[in-house]
Amino acid sequence: MSVDVAVHEHHGFEAFAMGDPFPVYEELRREEPVMFDENIGYFVITRYDDIKAVFADWEHFSSENAQAPIRPAGEPAKRVMAEGGFTAYSGLSARVPPEHTRIRNVATKAFTPRRYKVLEPLVRENVDRLIDRMLAAGPPADIVAGLAWDVPTITILTLLGVSTDMIPLVKEWAGSRAAMTWGDLTDEEQVPHAHNLVAYWNFCQKLVADSKRDPQDDLVGDMVRLQADGNEISDHEIASFLYSLLFAGHETTTTLISNALRVLLGHPDQYRELGASPTAIPAAIDEVLRFSPSIVAWRRKALADSEIGGVTIPRGSNVLLVMGSANRDETVFDEPDLFDIARKNARSHLSFGFGIHYCLGNLLAKLQVKVVLEEITAKIPGLRLIEDQQIVFGDNLSFRAPTAVAVTWGEGN
């Protein structure tokens, strides 16, 4: 495939650079909203309407590449995974109809609001405990390590009936999955992550096997009971769904909690406003998701020759949908670079995708951030960012996660 390298350099798009990609997104929307990036071999789509249309058209744009390693595993990592019996791929997001429809139906019957709404008191208890721990230790604190790391991880582990002693391991596995699938690692760098993926997958399979012997009152037990009641889903598919949840169920929410506080504290008047009017919190969460999404880009594959924004996309092409850009599209959002918790159409963001793969856990994610914001604005109204800190976002194709957000309160800085 040919590409105008001069144009590529001119736009300065760097697929893995997550520092501040928004000015480049803006330039791409304006000048080349459908651009082929030779470095990753993807068509990069940056306008809102084009992205939404691709998400909606699953018959022509399949999600089969959504979990494919952007840099395929090298021989050493492949060997580790083959020897370890690693056969996981995707629970749902990279599955396509009719398989996707069948598995999502069963998953939806198990992953009900009843299953996770009862967790709200537990979430609140954990949030309070972690904030109190921060307060007792005194300033400064890191929001990521001190709060955002544990809250959603405890929730998802509880939902799956897994001990919270597993937090460090589950977080390590999730980091390995993010690096192996959406990262840019050398063959040597991949090896320790490959070992982690083997352990992670074996753990998911064991969860299913244990639950089949002795099903508990948890989400795994629900899946096993649904299978026994005649819903068509294999043990391998249940284990794959758990493999999804043990990643998607916390990684992106950790980022959302971190981003919510990072962005709100960057606009102290809006942080204070939430303390005074907690009913404004749900709308503020959508504005955080719009302004600083946990996932800035997601993938699709063209199943037929197609056209996006007037550009021909040959059959078999890989397509990168940059939701982080769609969310700043000036044809949809007025003054898109302005963070405004009162924005009327913030909910139109595409941060949870759109269409048949729309994020299954969006309400659980929002519930947890809501509790965090309710509690922290009430308990630490004077919370503020440490001035002049350099916030670092790890290199990644899709996940834009701050590694630390330093905060303080009380006197001094």
Q: Which residues of 365-400 are buried (b: 16+ CB within 10 A; e: fewer)?
A: bbbbbbbbbbbbbebbeebbbeeeeebebebbbbbb
CB of 6 vs ligand HEM, minimal distance in Å: 32
Structure tokens belonging to residue 400:
């834009």
Q: Does 325 bind ligand HEM (CB under 6 A)?
A: no
Number of residues that bind ligand HEM (CB under 6 A): 30
Q: Does 147 bind ligand HEM (CB under 6 A)?
A: no
Contact 242, 91 (CB under 8 A): yes
Interface of this chain with ligand HEM, residues 35 to 74, rule: CB under 6 A = 55, 63
- From candidates 349, 357, 370, 400, binder to ligand HEM by CB under 6 A: 357
- From candidates 248, 319, 383, 405, binder to ligand HEM by CB under 6 A: 248
Amino acid letter for position 386: I
Q: Distance (Å, rounded) from C-alpha 220 to C-alpha 217?
A: 8
Q: Does 339 bind ligand HEM (CB under 6 A)?
A: no
Q: Distance (Å, rounded) from C-alpha 56 to C-alpha 222?
A: 30
Comparison of 46 and 63: residue with beta carbon closer to ligand HEM: 63
CA Rg, the chain, in Å?
Answer: 21
CB of 357 vs ligand HEM, minimal distance in Å: 3
Q: What is the DSSP string of 343-362?
A: -TTGGG--TT--GGG--TTH
Q: In which residue are the tokens 């308990």 written?
A: 379
Comparison of 227 and 294: residue with beta carbon closer to ligand HEM: 294
Q: Does 292 bind ligand HEM (CB under 6 A)?
A: no
Closest by CA to 111, choosing from 163, 156, 54, 47, is 156
Find the Cα–Cα–Cα–Cα dihedral 97, 100, 103, 106, rounded to 10°.
Answer: -80
String marking each residue 2-41 x if it binds ligand HEM according to CB under 6 A: ----------------------------------------
Comparison of 27 and 235: residue with beta carbon closer to ligand HEM: 235
Interface of this chain with ligand HEM, residues 371 to 410, rule: CB under 6 A = none
CB of 313 vs ligand HEM, minimal distance in Å: 18
Q: Does 351 bind ligand HEM (CB under 6 A)?
A: yes
Q: Does 370 bind ligand HEM (CB under 6 A)?
A: no
Amino acid letter for position 403: T
Amino acid letter for position 379: K
How far CA 37 is from CA of 7, 47, 54, in Å, comes to 10, 16, 18
- From candidates 296, 353, 370, 393, binder to ligand HEM by CB under 6 A: 353
Comparison of 71 and 100: residue with beta carbon closer to ligand HEM: 100
Q: Does 182 bind ligand HEM (CB under 6 A)?
A: no
Q: Does 364 bind ligand HEM (CB under 6 A)?
A: yes
CB of 116 vs ligand HEM, minimal distance in Å: 8
Q: Does 360 bind ligand HEM (CB under 6 A)?
A: yes
Q: Does 352 bind ligand HEM (CB under 6 A)?
A: yes
Closest by CA to 62, choosing from 94, 110, 33, 103, is 94
Angle between helical axes of 362-379 and 120-137 (0-180°, round to 10): 40
Q: Which stretches of the chain bind ligand HEM, using CB under 6 A?
A: 55, 63, 91-93, 104, 156, 244-245, 248-249, 252-253, 256, 293-295, 298, 351-355, 357-361, 364-365
